[in-house]
Amino acid sequence: MMNLSQPAQTGSSGPARGRWKNVFSQRWFWVLAAIVLLSGIGVAVGYGLIAAAQQDQACTGGAQSSSWTGIQISGLPSTLQSSFGYGRGTQVIESTLNATARPGFALPASIAVFAEPLTTSDGAQMIPSLSGTSGSQAQRGVSAVATRIASTSTYQLEVCVRAPSATVGSYTTQLLFPGATLTTGTSLPVTVTFQSEVVPFILTVGLAPLSVLGMLYTTLILIRRKDSDLKLGEIGSQLLNELWSVNGLAALILSVGAVFIAWNAQCFRNPVWGTPWPTILVSLAIMAGAAAAASTVPMSLSKS
């Protein structure tokens, strides 16, 4: 009885080992494993890029004076613009201005500039104003100060934007100089933009799957065109044969380059990318489409 039970145990474990061995021998398994591995590495790289993009610039402290009475201002730019990209933190926007004191008035070493809150065009998001407050350096908000350069009439204008967790969008504010006379206009507009923090992950995580997805789509269409009578069960093996070739390697290289170019144009170069959220889905579709288009030529040259 003992001898009869042993062959049954061996027979049940044998097929299980055989099935796993068969899985590991399949090329599609290694393709999927490579995509998962590369995407996992992409997550770590994406977090590294986010950390590197964080900004921590030092802001100028309190001003000696809070009034511009008796001072005429000239040399201001028409507008100030800055972009945080997909980073967050504290950023200083710099410019210069010329100040001329009227008779009986002296130019102080530094003068506070009133900065209105930074708001989006629809008013849904706001970064508060720290002008006229004693907020700490870690407090979220916007402030500005003009510091005199030596004994000249030129001032260094610094706008400090503290935004550790700003949402995606374009924010605008106005800088006011209470009591001053401006040669043009009455205030100085400032625009600050923020990208979605998803921007680096779209590339680092999505590069491999989007490239392969585009290649699969193109190759599948070409296979069906070459052999319209191909059975459904044979498509998988034929698809792998096409991809696992010199033409497939060339298509992969072109697809990776196309995905990167599409990401650079759609996401990285758009200072407010990520809003509204359907933009993300559209960008992913465009990147996959770019991969499909790039792999068309090498895959169409296959003779199989």
Using one digit for the tens of pLDDT, what is the confidence trace for 101-116?
A: 988 888 999 999 999 9
Q: Looking at the structure, do residues 170 and 218 belong to the same domain, yes or no?
A: no
- Cα 95–Cα 96–Cα 99 angle in degrees, nearest 5: 150
Looking at residue 219, its pLDDT comes to 84
Q: Looking at the structure, do residues 66 and 117 belong to the same domain, yes or no?
A: yes
Over residues 150-177, the mean pLDDT reads: 95
CB of 293 closer than 8 Å to CB of 258: yes
Domain of residue 87, residue span: 56-194
Convert 189-213 into a string of H (helix), E (strand) and C (coil): EEEEEECCCCHHHHHHCCHHHHHHH
Beta strands of the chain (E only): which ranges?
A: 55-56, 71-74, 80-83, 89-101, 110-115, 118-120, 126-127, 141-148, 154-163, 169-176, 181-182, 188-194
Using one digit for the tens of pLDDT, what is the confidence trace for 18-66?
A: 555 555 456 677 778 888 999 999 999 999 999 999 999 999 888 888 8
CB of 209 closer than 8 Å to CB of 226: no
37 domain-assigned: no
Is the pLDDT reported for residue 3 higher than 60? no
Q: Looking at the structure, do residues 162 and 263 belong to the same domain, yes or no?
A: no
pLDDT classification of 134: cutoffs 50, 70, 90: low
Please state which of the ranges 56-60, 125-129, 235-239 shows the lowest mean pLDDT: 235-239
Q: Looking at the structure, do residues 215 and 188 belong to the same domain, yes or no?
A: no
Q: Of residues 236 and 287, which shows the higher confidence score? A: 287
CB of 73 closer than 8 Å to CB of 99: yes
Percentage of residues in the chain having pLDDT higher than 70: 85
244 domain-assigned: yes
pLDDT classification of 246: cutoffs 50, 70, 90: confident
102 domain-assigned: yes
Q: Name the token pair of 211.
A: 């490239």
Q: Looking at the structure, do residues 210 and 257 belong to the same domain, yes or no?
A: yes
For CA atoms 86, 91, 97, 100, give the dihedral sign. positive
Last residue of a domain, one of 194, 223, 251: 194
Q: At what angle do helices 207-226 and 278-294 cross, to 10 degrees?
A: 50
Average confidence score pLDDT of the chain: 86
Q: Looking at the structure, do residues 225 and 293 belong to the same domain, yes or no?
A: yes
Q: Parallel, antiparallel, or unpaired for β 55-56 and 89-101? A: parallel
pTM, rounded to two decimals: 0.82
Task: Please count the structural domains in the chain.
Answer: 2
Please state which of the ranges 13-27, 200-214, 223-237 shows the lowest mean pLDDT: 13-27
pLDDT classification of 211: cutoffs 50, 70, 90: very high
Q: Looking at the structure, do residues 151 and 105 belong to the same domain, yes or no?
A: yes
What is the spatial distance between Cα 136 and Cα 61, in angstroms, rounded to a whole number? 10
Q: Looking at the structure, do residues 83 and 172 belong to the same domain, yes or no?
A: yes
Q: Looking at the structure, do residues 83 and 171 belong to the same domain, yes or no?
A: yes
What is the spatial distance between Cα 235 and Cα 286, in angstroms, rounded to a whole number? 26
Task: Using the structure block, give the residue that is written with the tokens 């998803």.
Answer: 198
The CATH number of whichever domain residue 62 belongs to comes to: 2.60.40
